[in-house]
Amino acid sequence: MQQLLGRERLLATVQQHFAEAPAVALLGARQVGKTTLAREVARVWPGPTTTFDLERAADRAALAGTPEAVLSACTGLVIVDEVQRLPELFALLRPLCDAPDRKAVFLLLGSASWDLVQGVSESLAGRVRLVRVPGFSLDETGAGEQDRLWFRGGFPRAFLAESDAAWARWVESFAEIFLERDIPGLGSRVAPSALGRFWRMLAHFHGQTWNAAELARSMGVSPTAVNHYRDLLEGTFMVRVLAPWFENLGKRLVKSPKVYVRDSGILHHLLGLDSLFGLRSHPRYGASWEGFALEQTLIRFGERDAWFWATQRGAELDLLLLRHGRRFGFEYKCSDAPTSSRSMHIAQADLDLAHLWVVYPGGRHYPMAPGITALPLAGLSTLDLATAA
């Protein structure tokens, strides 16, 4: 299996960014493979490499005590893992990046969005390139592993577990450590039990329009509290908040975001599932496919300029991407042979889509209607939006 899981595309992206900037940041959830990717960057780096892991007490003490002296003495590639644990480093890195006699470049690894780390955007604006590190993609695992990737999710240790039972043990441990250690490590005072309860509840709202009042009533807390819980999970790459697209089209449009548990394996754990067989009979089966296929689409085409669209009267488009000056639509159907619908035609006309793809689990690529095509999930890897008709 290992030979199928190279991450050459991410490695090439990091190398390209280092040709353009003195610092590159790898951002993604814990255990998603950032450290492994950093080791691969170091392996092919032509000069010396120094690594600081801020989860190790000795490394954290060195950089907390005399960070300027320590970092100024480094040459070549400097890797700082879990950098959000010492946010004061960002202000220090600014002059190091700007120094005319700079002898080092910096690879920063973070498992929290920098929106949660005060001062980062101001400190390193224009000096750092961001590389978002997702879980495994179907392109990396191979199309033959689609069901396994869907059920277990893209975290490397979850996907590569020896059995579904081993997968379940790993995910349970990951969730516990995340709630008990990682969230408090960001300075959050939210009780792990409250956040865990919200996380499990959110799994049952996966793929639905955000309704803070409804979740707040269910938990017996304020809407402000559940908005904060959502922001914490979004900032640690556990959930995706997909913004709505709206224009003055003369229609009443949905203007609340949709929320997804980003990793399908985490979603299935939170839903209490232990096998793909159980998933197939679960009420959230279709929503699970939608979230999984949506994440694979965003891995393939990037997260910028991505929305969903819906009208108050029920027409909806799961994903709208703006690329190359055109609008492209994606619908996700967990069906053996999807067909076009009135909602798709409304979205196609109202949004002036260049094309709409209906992504499904099957293997045939076929036209459904003018401008609407059924596309196997594996077909995303060869889809080129720059030349799409």
Flag whether 389 is in a domain. Answer: no
In this structure, are 189 and 313 located in the same domain? Answer: yes
- In-domain check, residue 150: yes
Q: How many domains are contained in the chain?
A: 2
Q: Do 145 and 48 fall into the same domain?
A: no
Indicate whether 90 and 146 sit together in one domain.
Answer: no
Range of the domain at 283: 138-382
Nearest to 136 by CA among 307, 264, 238: 264
263 shares a domain with 128: no
Helix axes 8-18, 34-44, angle to 10 degrees: 60
213 and 152 part of one domain: yes
- Measure CA 389 to chain center: 28
Residues 54 and 113 grouped into a single domain: yes
Same domain, 162 and 48: no
Contact 295, 134 (CB under 8 A): yes
- Rg of the chain (C-alpha set): 22
Q: Are 359 and 275 in contact (CB under 8 A)?
A: no
129 vs 2: CA distance, rounded Å: 29
Tell me, yes or no, whether 100 and 47 share the same domain. yes
In a domain, 144, yes or no: yes
Angle between helices 212-219 and 192-203 (to 10 degrees): 130
Choosing from 62, 97, 132, the residue where a domain stops is 132
Shared domain for 110 and 244, answered yes or no, is no
Residue 121 and residue 191 share a domain: no
Choose the final residue of a domain: 108, 132, 156.
132
Q: Is 102 in the same domain as 169?
A: no
CB 98 within 8 A of CB 106: no
CB 260 within 8 A of CB 239: yes
CATH code, 14: 3.40.50.300
- Please report, for residues 32, 81, 96, 188, the alpha-carbon distance to residue 85 in angstroms, rounded to integers and kept in the order given: 18, 9, 19, 13
What would the 3-class secondary structure string for the chain be?
A: CHHHCCCHHHHHHHHHHHCCCCEEEEECCCCCCHHHHHHHHHHHCCCCEEEEECCCHHHHHHHHHCHHHHHHCCCEEEEEECHHHCCCHHHHHHHHHHCCCCCEEEEEEECCCHHHCCCHHHHHCCCEEEEECCCCCHHHHCHHHHHHHHHHCCCHHHHCCCCHHHHHHHHHHHHHHHHHHHHHHCCCCCCHHHHHHHHHHHHCCCCEECCHHHHHHHHCCCHHHHHHHHHHHHHCCCEEEECECCCCCCCCECCCCEEEECCHHHHHHHCCCCCHHHHHCCCCHHHHHHHHHHHHHHHHHCCCCEEEEEECCCCEEEEEEEECCEEEEEEECCCCCCCCCHHHHHHHHHCCCCEEEEEECCCCCEEEECCEEEEEHHHHHHCCCCCCC
Cα 124 to Cα 341: distance, rounded to the nearest angstrom: 47
Report d(CA 186, CA 53) in Å as an integer.
16
Residue 250 lies in a domain: yes
Whole-number Å distance between alpha carbons of 230 and 71:
36
74 occurs within a structural domain: yes
* In a domain? residue 387: no
233 and 210 in one domain? yes
In this prediction the pTM is: 0.93
Place of tokens 């191979």: 142
- Of the three residues 114, 132, 150, the one that is the final residue of a domain is 132
Please indicate, yes or no, if residue 388 is contained in any of the structural domains. no
Q: From first to last of its 389 residues, what are the pLDDT tens digits of the chain?
A: 444 477 899 999 999 999 999 999 999 999 999 999 999 999 999 999 999 999 899 999 989 888 888 999 999 999 999 988 888 888 888 889 988 888 999 999 999 886 655 556 566 777 889 999 999 999 999 999 999 999 999 999 999 999 999 999 999 999 999 999 999 988 889 999 999 999 999 999 999 999 999 999 999 999 999 999 999 999 999 999 999 998 755 667 788 999 999 999 999 999 999 999 999 999 999 999 999 999 999 999 999 999 999 998 889 999 999 999 999 999 999 999 999 999 999 999 999 999 999 999 999 999 999 999 999 999 999 999 999 87
Tokens of 347: 């979205």
Query: Domain for residue 266, yes or no?
Result: yes
